[in-house]
Structure 1
Amino acid sequence: MKIHQQCKYCKKEIQGRIDKKYCNLHCKSAYQYQISKEQPQRFYNIVDNQLKLNRKILKEFNKGGKVTVRTELVNELGFDSNFFTHYWKNQKGEVYLFVYEYGFLKIKEHNNEKYVLVLWQDYMKFNKSKTVK
């Protein structure tokens, strides 16, 4: 008795092993992609994607190590300051938020909101014995 299997993606008859679910690797990949698109996006993916976008934007604008840019300029590109990986507090008490190695500090200059963009430096190393509050 011959059992006829159908490909889970294209529905064509499958030749070969009895436990085979797809007719080829393309159908297997396409089916798994289709299933993943039907599921709601996981919180981890949302956060990870926003961090990646934030880092890309900060990297694009900060070519020289320290630069000031208008907030609306980066926000228009999808930057969201609520997503960052860590922070650093300088001696003046200013708190720079970082997305990996790219940091930003929100300031107001001539009634315009801006970000001071910086690059992580060795002197900013994490100090485990001192907690910043």
Structure 2
Amino acid sequence: MGQCLECDKPLVGRTDKKFCSDMCRNSYNNRLNSDSHNLMRNINNQLRKNRRILEDLCPDGKVTLPKSTLLAKGFDFNWMTHVRTTLKGTVYQYVYDYGYLAIENDFFVIVRDKRLEK
């Protein structure tokens, strides 16, 4: 037979067995995937935080406010979900259903795209 990929104990049973127990199998797979899962978890956490900030600041569907307000709340401009260009050629950056657009004097327009609601 072989040895458990996690704890090196001798394996008993099927010839294609890789782990001695469910606990070893789970530990092995969790360790194997932890780096990529942590990266995705951190990115998703920041996206959720950004969306929550936009939602809190834009309760009526559209608002204009200074960049400093977004930064003070912890908004991270490095993370967004997509970009949308209007028919007039204006490019909004989006975090899920909330878009933002830089305008003059370090102000931003925040909008909610109601088409994305279910």
Task: Name the structure with the higher helix share.
Answer: 2
Decide whether aligned partners of structure 1 residues 38 and 65 sit closer, same or farther in structure 2, where only a CA change above 3 A counts.
closer
Q: CA deviation at 1:28?
A: 1.7
TM-score (norm 2): 0.61
Q: Where do 1:26-37 residues align within 5 Å?
A: 26-37=23-34
C-alpha distance in 1 between matches for 2:111 and 2:94: 9
Listed as ranges, the gaps of 5+ residues in structure 1 are: 123-133
Asked if 1:80 corresponds to 2:77, the answer is: yes
Q: Match for residue 115 of structure 1?
A: 108
- Aligned to 2:54, the other structure's residue is in SS state helix
- AA at the equivalent of 2:15: I
C-alpha distance in 2 between matches for 1:38 and 1:121: 36
C-alpha distance in 1 between matches for 2:68 and 2:75: 10
Assess if the C-alpha contact under 8 Å between 1:7 and 1:23 holds in 2: yes
- Aligned match of 2:101 in 83, 95, 105? 105
% same residue:
29
Asked if 1:13 corresponds to 2:6, the answer is: no
Listed as ranges, the gaps of 5+ residues in structure 2 are: none
Decide whether aligned partners of structure 1 residues 81 and 19 sit closer, same or farther in structure 2, where only a CA change above 3 A counts.
closer
Q: Which has the larger Rg? A: 1
- AA at the equivalent of 1:59: E
Q: CA deviation at 1:9?
A: 1.5
Superposed CA deviations along residues 74-133 of structure 1, whole A, max 9, x for unmatched, are 346352256441213365x64332233211111344xxx2322110145xxxxxxxxxxx
- AA at the equivalent of 1:114: F
Instruction: Return structure 1 stretches of 4+ with deviation > 6 angstroms.
Output: none
Assess if the C-alpha contact under 8 Å between 2:64 and 2:107 holds in 1: yes
- Aligned to 1:117, the other structure's residue is in SS state strand
Instruction: Give the number of aligned pairs.
Output: 111
TM-score (norm 1): 0.56
